[in-house]
Amino acid sequence: MANQLPAAPVISILNMKGGVGKTTISAHLFRHLVDRLNKSVLLIDFDPQFNLTQTLMSRAAFEKTKIANKTIFSVMEPAPEPSLFKITSGLGPPPSVESVVEPLRVWSHTKKPAISLLAGDFRMTKYTMVDDQKALQPVRNRFLEFVNNARQQYDLVCIDCNPSSSFMTVCALLASTHLLVPVRPDRYSILGLELLNEFIDHVPILTNKPKQIVLINGTAAKHDMNVENTLRADPKLGPITLPTTLKFSGLLSAKEGQTGFATERKVAHMNALKQRFSRIVDDLKAPLGWQP
Ligand SMILES: Nc1ncnc2c1ncn2[C@@H]1O[C@H](COP(=O)(O)OP(=O)(O)O)[C@@H](O)[C@H]1O
Ligand SMILES: [Mg+2]
């Protein structure tokens, strides 16, 4: 390849449990990272429920994107889609990154994308139903090639995953250098962490295990410190848990009909949220291999 830049880290936001804040963190924390570190980010909506896309794109914009076939599905398979349960074998190379991603913000000086979104697609549900790993191999390779290309164009690639242990999770794991695992400060969330590790250990083709980072999300002023203390005392999980927790904030709660990045809204208490995000972004620098 002509481009000799070191490939950017790829971070999957993953937990086998739903509702732990994967999508919230993908959208809003990484938007803040762009400002805080002046680094460009590509967000990939890899969940068939496409909540990330619904958070960041208006319905009308998403319809246009879908009609133009500029969603994650076009990265997996070329259009026109074959049949629901059939995967074509000769897939060809993935589309170019710039032809399918939507730049959501650009740098004012260069007009280059600061943060872009590869929109999600309900058709990805297909991959939660077929499990023929051999037939799916070309699809996986096409996705991996796309992510590798994206790593040459962005400083960070984030993959917002769905909570199942499916083909898609394997794709995300293979593409990733890092995993960001949000956990709620409750025992069940920590169980999700254990399940994830069990799953990772059982993916034989995963020779380079991504580096795990745990982020405690949804702490309140009076949360049960027991769970957090247990996590921090754990010999395996403690050292990979970020010192800063993400607090519960009404500014982050998804609201019907509201799209856009939380930190761009000019409302009360935004500074406190931004300060919290700044600390988490700073916590992330060392594990991501960026200058602390
Ligand atoms: N720190 C937080 N403060 C307030 N609400 C949050 C926070 N994290 C997540 N939520 C809310 O919790 C719900 C689930 O979060 P979401 O990011 O969709 O989880 P996941 O992607 O893991 O399923 C959403 O309604 C979201 O707005
Ligand atoms: Mg989600």
State the closest ligand 1 atom to the C-alpha of 247, by its place in the atom list counted from 1: 1
Please give all residues whose CB falls under 5 A of ion ligand 2, grouped by chain where several chains appear: 22-23, 51
Mutate to test the pocket of ligand 1, among 24, 32, 248 (most ligand atoms within 8 A of CB): 24
What is the band of 124 on the pLDDT scale with cuts at 50, 70, 90?
very high
Tell me the per-residue pLDDT of 67-78, one tens digit each, with 9 for 90 and over.
999 999 999 998
Q: Which residue has the higher pLDDT, 164 or 110?
A: 110
Rounded to the nearest whole angstrom, what is the distance from the C-alpha of residue 253 to the centroid of ligand 1? 6
Give the mean model confidence (pLDDT) for residues 251-259.
90
- Number of Cα atoms under 13 Å in the Cβ half of residue 148: 13
Contacts 24+ apart (CB under 8 A), 283-289: 283/242, 283/243, 283/244, 284/33, 284/180, 284/213, 284/242, 285/37, 287/178, 287/211, 287/213, 287/240, 288/9, 288/11, 288/156, 288/178, 289/9
Structure tokens that stand for 86 in this block: 């059939």
Domain segments of the chain: what residues? 11-287
Q: Atom 6 (ligand 1): residue with closest C-alpha?
A: 253
- Looking at residue 1, its pLDDT comes to 45
List strand residue ranges (DSSP E) for the chain, in order.
Answer: 10-13, 41-46, 102-106, 113-118, 156-161, 178-183, 211-219, 246-247
Q: Atom 16 (ligand 1): residue with closest C-alpha?
A: 21
- Looking at residue 149, its pLDDT comes to 98
| Predicted confidence (pLDDT) at residue 271 exceeds the cutoff of 80 | yes
Q: How far apart are CA 147 and CA 132, in angstroms?
A: 22
Rounded to the nearest whole angstrom, what is the distance from the C-alpha of residue 20 to the centroid of ligand 1? 6
Tell me the per-residue pLDDT of 32-60, one tens digit each, with 9 for 90 and over.
999 999 999 999 999 999 999 999 999 99
Highest-confidence segment of 93-107, 125-139, 220-234: 93-107
Q: Which CATH fold would you assign to the domain 11-287? A: Rossmann fold (3.40.50)
Tell me the per-residue pLDDT of 201-218, one tens digit each, with 9 for 90 and over.
988 899 999 999 999 999
CA 102 to chain centre: 16
Mean pLDDT of the chain: 92
Q: Atom 9 (ligand 1): residue with closest C-alpha?
A: 21
Give the mean model confidence (pLDDT) for residues 92-118.
97
- Looking at residue 101, its pLDDT comes to 98
What is the band of 160 on the pLDDT scale with cuts at 50, 70, 90?
very high
